[in-house]
Amino acid sequence: MGIKGVSSAPGDFIYFKSQVPLHRIPIGTKQWRYYDFGPKVVPPLICLPGIAGTADVYYKQIMFLSMKGYRVISVDIPRVWNHQEWIQTFEKFLDAIDVHRIHLYGTSLGGFLAQLFAQHRPRRVKSLILSNSYLETKSFSAAMPWSPIVSWAPSFLLKRYVLTGIRDGPHEPFIADSVDFVVSQVETLSRDDLASRLTLTVDDASIGPLLLPDSSITIMDTNDYCAVPLQLKDQLNERYPGARRAYLKTGGDFPFLSRPDEVNLHLQLHLRRVGVEARPDLVQIASQGGGSDSGPSEKKDERDGDDTHEDDNEHTENSPSESQISPAPESSESHSLDNQLLNNAKACYLGDETPLSSHRETKVLLIINEILLRYVQMICVSLMLGMMDAGGSTHLLLIPER
């Protein structure tokens, strides 16, 4: 998926897209979209975004840390509808890419999900970096009176809700650029993506005790402003009194974009402190291997709401020069799979002896269902707009980042 209007994308992001392959893998009914860059022998740092974030928002961290010899994986939050489903789906993803011990960096909702996974799967999480995050979702659900019908809301209303939570200017240039970048990412999210993330944010839950020692946790917050209420950030600091603090004087909601040098430094210090050994020697091998390639192949990068895409990149355990620098070209396996699907479709068609009248009746029923769905959505829109107008600015609390 990329930013709409490539010409408006930052130059370093365009370079990033030309160098780092985007991966997609279906796991069960879930589609995972992620970047995986850096030496595979190094335990990975996995980045989890907030409501308005995607895997792309951490591109500055991927480029910097991978050149230092660290492995960085940045993921989109898949379409899950409760916290237990998140834990199970994320664990299946880690198994699929053959990763067992991880370090998690989460911002806002991503930080909450990182803590949740560390609580329920303590053996897999070695350390946490939490940025502008929180411990419980009760205050968010209270700020959204229409939360029970989030899954019915149309896309334009969900985007409006999310974008309203991003603080308006005036901003200094780097913060303004970070806001523009995240807004462009929100435009690429589907209705189901937004509804799922908002549901995770308002689903009543709280973080219990972690087996992870405080010394393996870094809390990195901005001091100027943030969509997460200060009270919630204070609760997080009180829960982990022995955690390392990394305060940024400015940076807004998206310091990983507006203050990348500071964020990257704190991430590197954290990884060193928890014992992650970088392998810069493998970075040199990877760059030489990439130089012999004709260049990364062009990929279609869209989010079209289909959860049955094939994997765009293989995630086998190859050497960094083979699996890290350029996307794998389209193989004959994908063509054989296409042929198999086509043959299956033909077989189903030839074997279908349902009378023509049954097809017509089915089509009529589908049309009726579509009309009913539109009608329900119109009712939801009317109710939600009324609640927003009556509630004033209370819904602004919900949009952390990302």
- Name the one residue in this structure whose structure tokens are 């070209």: 329
Looking at the domain 11-279, which fold is it? Rossmann fold (3.40.50)
Domain ranges of the chain: 11-279
Predicted local confidence at residue 366, as pLDDT: 58
CA dist., res. 206 & res. 134, Å (int): 9
Residue 35 in contact with residue 74, Cβ under 8 Å?
A: yes
pLDDT at 163: 86
Q: Given this model, what pLDDT does residue 1 score? A: 42
Tell me how far apart the alpha carbons of residues 194 and 158 are, in angstroms, rounded to a whole number.
7
Instruction: Indicate the SS3 state at residue 7.
Output: helix
The whole-angstrom separation of Cα 252 and Cα 353 is 62
State the CB neighbour count (10 A cutoff) for residue 218: 23
Kindly report whether the global pTM for this prediction surpasses the value 0.85. Answer: no
pLDDT number for residue 150: 83
Q: Kindly provide the residue ranges of all beta strands, DSSP E only, lying in 122-279, ordered along the sequence.
A: 125-131, 217-222, 244-248
pLDDT of residue 363: 52
Residue 389: its pLDDT value, please? 57
Q: What is the pLDDT of residue 226?
A: 84
Please, where are the H alpha helices in 82-190? 83-96, 109-120, 138-142, 155-164, 173-186
pLDDT reported for residue 388:
55
pLDDT (0 to 100) of residue 224: 86
How distant, in Å, are the alpha carbons of 25, 352, 357 from that of 360? 36, 14, 5
Tell me the pLDDT tens digit for each residue of 109-130.
Answer: 999 999 999 999 999 999 999 9
Q: Spell out, as residue ranges, where the chain has pLDDT lower than 70.
A: 1-8, 284-402
C-beta of residue 261 within 8 angstroms of C-beta of residue 12: no
